[in-house]
Amino acid sequence: MLLKERELSAGEIGQHFEMSGATISYHLSQLKNAGLIFERKEKNFIYYQLNTSVFEEVMLWLAQFGGVDNENKK
């Protein structure tokens, strides 16, 4: 949700959690390896942004099951 609006550095992301910097880095690495986020390096900082195309694919997949289809609601 943090990356939904804009890209953030690892430090900015870490401010929202009670975890060590190493733990934040580990989780960001896992998200990057899964293709859920992108990273951009600028000087001494790494900025992360959401890979929206992956989430769009998930929403389309869920729609097949009626999970996000408003037409089926009564």
Question: Is residue 41 domain-resident?
Answer: yes
Tokens of 53: 């195309």
Question: Is residue 34 domain-resident?
Answer: yes
Sheet holding 8-9, edge to edge: 8-9, 45-50, 37-42
Q: What angle do CA 21, 22, 24 make, to 5 degrees?
A: 65
pLDDT digits (tens, 9 = 90+) for 29-69: 999 999 999 999 999 999 999 998 987 888 888 888 885 55
Stated pTM of the model: 0.72
Question: Is residue 74 domain-resident?
Answer: no
Question: Is residue 6 domain-resident?
Answer: yes
Say if residue 38 is exposed, middle or buried (CB neighbours under 10 Å; 0-12, 13-18, 19+): middle
Mean pLDDT, rounded, for 15-40: 94
Residue 73 has pLDDT above 80, yes or no: no
How many structural domains compose the chain?
A: 1
The range of the structural domain enclosing residue 62 comes to 2-69
The CATH number covering residue 27 comes to 1.10.10.10
Length of the chain, in residues: 74
